[in-house]
Amino acid sequence: MSLATYIGSNVELSINDESDDLVTIGSYFSDEGHRLNVKKYQFTTPYVYEVSSDWGIEISKYMKKSICKESKEKLILLCKLMDSYLKSGDFFELYSCWVGEETEKRKGELTLNINSFDIDRIEMPEKTLVRIEK
């Protein structure tokens, strides 16, 4: 199984799944059915994408330090990318889960400001809905 990270947005995003960047927007582990389930069961936004090219974004004290560090880097880069799409007052949603578990009950919720959070104080395990506001 693969850990997928989904992003929900009120604005349409550019697909860049051919990129070698740490953070890309496209289809990697999921298919359209998985993204429709995330949209229906987790998100409040009309547009849903999968984000990241290698592994999902999960920040937890139970993870290997190297993977957690990479997830923190991905979250920071994603916020920088989304900052260019969003206007003041807008938000995007982020949700990570194992492919096939998109309809399961979430374990938690978290709200962050896109430009002012301490990445070292965030706990963002799988099945946590994260709302990131501008």
Question: Could you read off the pLDDT of 47-69 as tens digits, one per residue?
Answer: 999 987 678 899 998 889 999 99
| pLDDT band (50, 70, 90) for residue 28 | confident
Based on DSSP, count helices (H) and strands (E) in the chain, helices before strands. Answer: 2, 6
CA angle 17, 96, 56 (to 5 degrees): 45
Report helix, strand or coil for 78.
helix
Query: Domain segments of the chain: what residues?
Result: 3-133
Mean pLDDT of the chain: 91
pLDDT band at 96, cuts 50/70/90? very high
pLDDT at 17: 60
Give the number of other CB atoms < 10 A from CB of residue 66: 8
φ, ψ of residue 71 in degrees (nearest 5): -60, -40
